[in-house]
Amino acid sequence: MEVRDLHVSFTGRLGLGAGLVGKKAAVARAVDGVSLSLQKGEVLALAGESGCGKTTAARAIMGLERPHRGEILYEDEPIWKDLRAYRRKVQMVFQDPTGALNPRETVYESVAEGLRIHRVPGDERTQVAKALSSAGMRPPERFFLNYPHELSGGQRQRVVIAGALVLEPHMIVADEPVSNLDASVRGEILALLMDLRRRLGLTILIVTHDLGLAWMVADRVAVMYLGRVVEIGPAEDVLVHPKHPYTKALLDVVPEVGGGGRPILKGEPPDPTRIPAGCRFHPRCPVVASGRAERLGILGRCTGEDLGLEQKAPGHQVACYLTELGEEP
Q: Which residues contact 134 (CB under 8 A, 6 or more apart)?
A: 162, 165, 196, 199, 200
Q: In the complex with another protein, which residue's Cβ is closer, 260 or 314?
A: 260
> How far is the C-alpha of 321 from the C-alpha of 20, rounded, in Å?
43
Q: Is the dihedral of CA 44, 60, 55, 87 positive or negative?
A: negative
CB of 50 to another protein, least distance (A): 5
What part of residues 84-103 is at the interface with another protein (CB under 8 A)? 84, 87-88, 91-92, 94-96, 99-103
Among 16, 20, 21, 183, binds another protein (CB under 8 A): 183
* Nearest residue to 41 via CA among 173, 214, 202, 170: 202
What part of residues 282-301 is at the interface with another protein (CB under 8 A)? none
What part of residues 253-272 is at the interface with another protein (CB under 8 A)? 253-260, 264-266, 268
Q: In the complex with another protein, which residue's Cβ is closer, 28 or 298?
A: 28
Among 60, 79, 167, 207, binds another protein (CB under 8 A): 167
Q: Which residues contact 264 (CB under 8 A, 6 or more apart)?
A: 249, 252, 253
CB of 164 to another protein, least distance (A): 8
Q: In the complex with another protein, which residue's Cβ is closer, 178 or 298?
A: 178
Q: In the complex with another protein, which residue's Cβ is closer, 20 or 184?
A: 184
Q: Is 274 helix (H, G, I), strand (E, B) or coil?
A: coil
Scanning the chain, the segments in alpha helix (DSSP H) are 16-21, 54-61, 83-89, 107-117, 124-134, 153-165, 183-200, 211-217, 235-240, 245-252, 286-289, 292-296, 299-304, 321-325
Among 64, 277, 313, 325, binds another protein (CB under 8 A): 64
User: Which segment (8-16, 25-33, 235-243, 296-304) binds another protein by CB under 8 A?
Assistant: 235-243
> How far is the C-alpha of 28 from the C-alpha of 80, rounded, in Å?
23
Asked if 170 touches another protein (CB under 8 A), the answer is: no
Total number of residues that touch another protein (CB under 8 A): 89
CB of 27 to another protein, least distance (A): 18
Q: Is the dihedral of CA 272, 275, 282, 268 positive or negative?
A: negative
**C-alpha pair distances (Å), 277 with each of 108, 266, 286, 304:** 52, 19, 17, 6
CB of 303 to another protein, least distance (A): 21
Asked if 189 touches another protein (CB under 8 A), the answer is: yes
* CB-neighbour burial class of residue 108 (10 A; exposed 0-12, middle 13-18, buried 19+): buried
What part of residues 113-132 is at the interface with another protein (CB under 8 A)? 113-114, 117-118, 124-126, 129-130
Q: Is 37 helix (H, G, I), strand (E, B) or coil?
A: strand
Asked if 168 touches another protein (CB under 8 A), the answer is: no
User: Which segment (12-20, 30-38, 186-194, 274-282) binds another protein by CB under 8 A?
Assistant: 186-194
* CB-neighbour burial class of residue 211 (10 A; exposed 0-12, middle 13-18, buried 19+): buried
What part of residues 129-158 is at the interface with another protein (CB under 8 A)? 129-130, 133-134, 136, 138-142, 144-145, 152-155
Q: Which x/- pattern over 17-56 shows residues binding another protein (rule: CB under 8 A)?
A: --------------------------------xx------
